Amino acid sequence: MPDVDLAKFAARAAINPPGQYEGPPLASAATITLSHPVHKVTGVVAIVNINPPYTGFVGHVTLIPTAIWTMTAAGNIAVARTAVVGVVVQMYYDGAVWYPSSAA
């Protein structure tokens, strides 16, 4: 069984203070880096790569589009998607590739 520090996981997931669940807005860019479970994403630049919030991360994050941006499959995103303003994009990261929800 892997060595899991549940307190660290809980803090990163913002289950316990002082973590915040929603991070600062991120401007769409070729590469964005997540820091929280939820981020609003601004801008209209195509996203090619998404850096996970920390080394060893595997799991879900939520992106909330505030503009119409796209994701391409040229980097570490499994399939291309076009964001719809106000429609959440749920993403799952398996440690290597991000998989966007089919609703995006």
Distance between CA atoms of residues 104 and 95, nearest Å: 21
Cis? peptide before 52, omega within 30° of 0: no
Domain boundaries, given as residue ranges, for the chain: 23-100
pLDDT digits (tens, 9 = 90+) for 56-97: 999 999 999 999 999 999 999 999 999 999 999 999 999 999
pLDDT digits (tens, 9 = 90+) for 24-50: 999 999 999 998 889 999 999 999 999
pLDDT at position 64 is 96
Q: Give the list of residues 6+ apart from residue 93 with CB closer than 8 angstroms, or none.
A: 50, 52, 57, 58, 59, 60, 61, 99
State yes or no: pLDDT of 12 exceeds 80.
Answer: no
pTM: 0.81
Strands 70-71 and 89-93: unpaired
